[in-house]
Chains A and B, each alone.
Chain A
């Protein structure tokens, strides 16, 4: 079974540019999560999709971040325009059922560096 995949693995952009991160969850997983780890801090929740619907987006830092999950399959997270404080590792995770009674499977992450 293929795991959660994320693309790209690394991205270096300049302040003010746009970046789009992609996540492909495990096939059949309705739940998709985005998390972020800023250097020296803990992993923090960004948002949660159930199929194509946003279940909880209370962790999104501001309106420069836009997440989509068209068709309930893969998801994209766009940052526009990027700021220096957006640097960090962005993780995507998926799970099968409702809530975290089911374990979350994490992707390897996308390391974003904004210069």
Chain B
């Protein structure tokens, strides 16, 4: 089965800096990788999806990279703002077997301070 690891439980950065979150996985099969944001008391909200044949995806201040050699995805938030403070979840879909099912990491809690 897939194992997803998000290296940092918590990340604290100053407003205006770039936040970089890491997601590592095993048993690549191939895979699609998604990033979600979760606020307290709410369900995860989809941010970006990247396929195994894509190196990079961007959406406004967000950027995701996918390195299938390292089995790693990096999630960047540029010009971070206090409103970006939340838990960010990495989720992987194993396209070789169980379509639709997502394997989640435990998440990284990002705090952006003014």
Q: How large is the interface on A (under 10, 10 to 19, 20 to 34, 35 or more residues)?
A: 20 to 34
B residues neighboring A (CB under 8 Å)? 4, 32, 34, 36, 41-46, 49, 89, 91, 93, 95, 98-107
Residue from A4, A45, A55 in contact with B102 in the complex, judged by beta carbons closer than 8 Å: A45
- A98 in contact (CB, < 8 A): yes
Cβ-closest chain A residue relative to B6: A42
Q: Is the pair B102, A104 in contact by a Cβ cutoff of 8 Å?
A: yes
- A100 in contact (CB, < 8 A): yes
Shortest beta-carbon distance from A34 to chain B in Å? 11
Q: Is the pair B102, A41 in contact by a Cβ cutoff of 8 Å?
A: no
Q: Is the pair A106, B43 in contact by a Cβ cutoff of 8 Å?
A: yes
Shortest beta-carbon distance from A94 to chain B in Å? 11
> In the complex, which residues of chain A have a beta carbon less than 8 angstroms from the beta carbon of B36?
106
Distance between Cα atoms of A108 and B89 in the complex (Å): 15
Residues of A72-98 whose CB lies within 8 A of B: 91, 93, 95, 98
14 interchain pairs (CB within 8 A)? A42-B104, A43-B44, A56-B101, A59-B101, A93-B43, A95-B100, A99-B32, A100-B34, A100-B102, A105-B46, A106-B43, A106-B45, A107-B43, A108-B42
Among all A-B residue pairs, the 8 with the closest Cβ atoms: A106-B43, A99-B99, A103-B46, A43-B104, A100-B93, A42-B106, A42-B104, A106-B44
> In the complex, which residues of chain B have a beta carbon less than 8 angstroms from the beta carbon of A56?
98, 100-101
- A62 in contact (CB, < 8 A): no
Q: Which of B41, B46, B95, B106 has the most CB of A within 10 A?
A: B46
Shortest beta-carbon distance from B105 to chain A in Å? 6
> In the complex, which residues of chain A have a beta carbon less than 8 angstroms from the beta carbon of B107?
42
Q: Known pairs A43-B104, A91-B43, A108-B41; list 15 more (Cβ under 8 Å).
A: A41-B106, A43-B44, A43-B102, A44-B104, A45-B103, A56-B98, A56-B100, A95-B100, A98-B100, A99-B100, A100-B34, A100-B49, A101-B32, A108-B42, A109-B43
> In the complex, which residues of chain A have a beta carbon less than 8 angstroms from the beta carbon of B95?
99
- A58 in contact (CB, < 8 A): yes
Distance between Cα atoms of A79 and B103 in the complex (Å): 23
- A22 in contact (CB, < 8 A): no
